[in-house]
Copies of this chain bind each other. A is one copy, B any other.
Amino acid sequence: MGLADRILNNDIRAAARLMRDIDDGLESAKAELKQLYPHTGKAYIIGITGPPGAGKSTLVDQITAEYRGQGKRVGVVAIDPTSPFTGGAILGDRIRMNRHAEDEGVFIRSLATRGALGGISHSTGDVVNVMDAMGMDVVIIETVGVGQDEIDIVRMAHTTIVIMVPGLGDDIQAIKAGILEIGDIFVVNKSDRDGADRTARELSVMLEMGHSRDSGWMPKVLMTEGNRGEGIKALVTECLAHKEYLLSSGALNKFIMEKNAVILMNMLKDGLFNEAFRIVSKNGKFDKMVQEITDHSSDPYTIVENTVKGLIVTNRN
C-alpha cells in the first residue's frame, strides 16, 4: 500500500513519513498529495499569529486541550523561525506540547521557514491537506511574525486569531495596524500584566474604526492568561461563533474560492520557477547570467526579460 492509502487508513507513521517527504521536497510526495486531495475540505482550520513573546505556543497547547476535551482530533502545524543556513526548525516537535505527546488524537508537526526559495506557505498547505485527509477535525496553524509569508499562511485558515500582549514596544502600533484586517478574533494574552486593559481598549477602538459595513463579522477582543488556562473556553466558543457565521452567511464559499486562488497562484509561481531554473541552470547558463550582472556587462532587468521571453511561448496559449 502507498503512503496515501495508509494515511486514509489512519496510519500515523505514514502521515509523518509523507510530511517529511514534503519537507524534503521529494517529487514522489506529489502523487500521494494528489490521491489525498479528494478527501480534504472537512477540517476546520484555525490560524494563530502574533509577535514574538506573545505566548502563542502556550495558547495553542491550551486550545488543543479544550478541543480534545470535546472529543475532537486536533492537528497542529507550527511554523518555526529557522536558521537560514542549516535549514532545521529550531523549537522542533520535541519540546512542543509535551503533555499531548502520548495522545493519538493530537498530531503535531513543526515546519521550518526555509532558505531563499523554499516556499513555506506552499508546504504548509500540503501539510494541512495531509492532516485534513487524516481526519483531523481541527487543524491549528501557528506562525511567528507579520511578514508576507505569514499573511499568506493565515489566509489558509477559516478563522484567524491574532495574539497581542501588553507593552511590547515602539513598533507595536504599526504591527497592530498591519494585522488588524487579517484577524477574526483578537486576544490580549498575559492579561495579568500591566496595561492589558489599555491594550484591549486600544485594539477595540482601532477595530471599530476599521470596521466596514460590508463585512458582517465584527471581530471581538478577548483576554486570556495562557499559562493558567484562563479565557480559553471563551476563545474556543468564539471560534465556533465565527465558524457558524461563515456557514450561515454564505461567506464560506467566497472565502474558499479566494483561498484556493491564492494557493494556486503560489503553487504556480513555485512550479514555474522550479522548471525554469532546471532549464536555465544547464551548461552554466545561470552562472553566466550572474557573472554578467556582477561585471555590469548586462543588467538583471534585461536578462530576466529575455529569459522569460525565451521560456514562455505565448502563441501556443
Q: Which residue numbers of A lie inside 8 Å of B, CB to CB? A: 30, 33-34, 37-38, 40-41, 51-58, 80-86, 90-91, 113-114, 116-118, 120, 144-152, 155, 165, 168-175, 177-178, 180-182, 256-257, 260-269, 271-273, 275-277, 279-280, 282, 286, 289-291, 293-294, 296, 299-305, 307-308, 310-314, 316-317
Residues of chain B within 8 A of A41, CB atoms compared:
296
Given contacts A41-B296, A56-B171, A144-B146, 11 further A-B contacts (CB under 8 A): A33-B301, A34-B299, A40-B296, A52-B174, A55-B169, A81-B175, A90-B173, A90-B174, A116-B151, A264-B300, A267-B301
* A311 with B310, Cβ < 8 A, contacts A80-B174, A304-B271 known: no
Residues of chain B within 8 A of A256, CB atoms compared:
294
Among B37, B58, B260, B291, contact of A301 (Cβ-Cβ < 8 Å): B37
CA distance A291 to B264 in the complex (A): 11
The chain B residue sitting closest to A256, CB to CB, is B294
A275 touches B172 (CB 8 A): no
Tell me the minimal C-beta distance from A291 to chain B in angstroms.
8
Tell me the minimal C-beta distance from A60 to chain B in angstroms.
12
